[in-house]
Amino acid sequence: MREDVGGVWLAEPRPDPSKKWPESPVYDSLQTNIAHPIMYFPSHLAPPSTPLYTGARAVNGYIRSYVDRFDLRQYVKFNAQVTAATWDHSRNQWDVTTRPYGIQSNQGTGSVSQFDHLLVANGHYRHPFIPNFDGFDDWVSCSSRSYIHTMWYRIPEPYRGHDVLVIGGGRSGVDCCNEISTVARTTVHSIRSKEDQDLERIIQRGAISHFTSDGFVHFKNGKREYVDRVIFATGYEYDCSFLTQLPVEEPKDNSDHLYNSRFHIYPLALHLFPLRAAFPPSSLAFIALTYGVPSFNLAEVQATLAIRQMTGRISLDFDYELAQTLERNEDLRNTHASALEVARAWHRFSYPHNTAFNFIDMLHQKANDTRRVPDWKRNLEPWLFVLRAEWRKLEDLGLAEKWTQGVGEGGIREWVELMWRILRRARDRKPGDMVTLE
């Protein structure tokens, strides 16, 4: 619905504070955390000499080059917002209402078009999740205190001299803490699963109990810290409010109908096709809902599977897929304490152990597609964190550009060899840590 392609990678460096939410959550220092030979579309490599990890501008440039290479702009309607999509049983079609982006609903009804199938690829970094804490309203009632979600965060300078609490242990939370701690008076990082630890610049604390009007945040272990700024790095909710027949409901143990809990969409076949819905499974597909799976790779194979199912080239057994979905739900219920925790875990794949790549290959197989995740990706997967850390050392030493110069001119093999060279460098510096590298 924006002016160009790129999604979240079309950065908005200084978002308009009058808007409900910024157009993109990308902060100035954000870099990719997966090397581009693994992250990007297998069908479209990054240009030679591209740094292994880049900022948003480079990723957006890559997406633009993909769109231009395959002449896709002719199929994109820019600055348009889908406000409603409703399945009409009598015609077996979708009625889709669109209007120019930014036009309020009371300024016109928009235009309605009919489609046989929908691919929903609206991402999941648009609708912030901010948890409720006892006493937070009292804490924020003081005019000298304020809070934001990380989707508004861009640079650390506004936090200079302040006492800052960052809530959440994900990527954005860690990055914010590291940056803000260089300018803040104190930086407190609350991560539910972590033990207390006083680091050089960061005070690490566990789960929060409550806030009080005197400016303190109290933790469940009885400790407290004074803060005047709070940053919620607490993730996002799934938002498909334009799907008029997809109800939003609180997480439950099971469901006889498709619904959006805000933390998962359930039940879906293969995290993709709707089950027990007001519309047929093959009428719609949700693209790239999952976490922990390289999203470009996932989108490519999911789109292949969806189109082949929708056009009749393959025919999935949705009774079987429903049984598999119910079995997964039962497995998660046995290992998680509540329906909410099951919902949070539903679309997540964890590293390592190749679970994400196994999922991608299963989708290839379901689509009758002969492509498979190459062995080099599977072999590199256990070392992705080491690879990223060693790349940062090369950057700090000013060597990164030299290491990538000309790499890629001979194709993907050169990128693979570069990644192994970097890992061998890490092993040679700390030989005891990586004895089974190859």
Stretches in the chain below the pLDDT threshold 50: 435
Handedness of CA 176, 178, 183, 188 (dihedral sign): positive
Per-residue pLDDT, 429 = 85
What CATH number should be reported for the domain whose range is 130-234? 3.50.50.60
pLDDT, tens digit, 9 for 90 and up, residues 284-319? 999 999 999 999 999 999 999 999 999 999 999 999
Q: Which amino acid, residue 162?
A: H
What CATH number should be reported for the domain whose range is 117-126+238-366? 3.50.50.60
For residues 176 and 155, the answer to whether their CB atoms sit within 8 Å is no
CA angle in degrees (0–180, nearest 5) for 294-437-396: 70
Chain centroid offset of residue 237 CA: 11
Q: What is the pTM of this model?
A: 0.91
Per-residue pLDDT, 106 = 52
pLDDT, tens digit, 9 for 90 and up, residues 237-259? 999 999 999 999 999 999 999 99
Handedness of CA 396, 398, 402, 405 (dihedral sign): positive
Per-residue pLDDT, 436 = 57
Per-residue pLDDT, 354 = 81
Are 117-126+238-366 and 130-234 equal in CATH topology?
A: yes
Average pLDDT of the chain is 94
Q: Show the tokens assigned to 4.
A: 């160009």
Q: Where are the domains of the chain?
A: 117-126+238-366, 130-234
For 92-150, give the DSSP string: TEEEEEEEETT--GGG---EEEEES-EEE---SSSEE-----BTHHHHHTSTT-EEEEG
Per-residue pLDDT, 438 = 55
Per-residue pLDDT, 434 = 56
Residues 6+ apart with CB under 8 A from 48: 406, 407, 408, 409
Per-residue pLDDT, 113 = 97
